[in-house]
Amino acid sequence: MAKLTFKEELCKGCGLCVTACPKKILAISKTKLNHKGHAPVELTKPEECVGCASCAMMCPDCVITVER
């Protein structure tokens, strides 16, 4: 199983990673904001991540790191 790490302080909540995920296991947070006032991305079902890194490649701000 892959491990995703998010640099929440850099996330601007654009949602590009959410749309790029083939498993649809990422979502923009509905409950928290980062220090810039943006809702960061969250992993909703970590056990379903296949480690494809589509989310990390799509992110314009290098928020996501994928460890396989």
| Domain at 11, CATH number | 3.30.70.20
Total number of domains constituting the chain: 1
Tokens of 30: 């509905």
Q: Is the pTM of this model over 0.85?
A: yes
Residue-range definition of the domain harbouring residue 22: 3-67
Is residue 7 scored above 90 in pLDDT? yes
Predicted confidence (pLDDT) per residue in 40-62, tens digit: 999 999 999 999 999 999 999 99
pLDDT at position 32 is: 96
Query: What percent of the chain lies above the pLDDT cut of 90?
Result: 97
Please say if the pLDDT value at position 1 is more than 90.
no
Question: Three-state DSSP class for 46?
Answer: helix
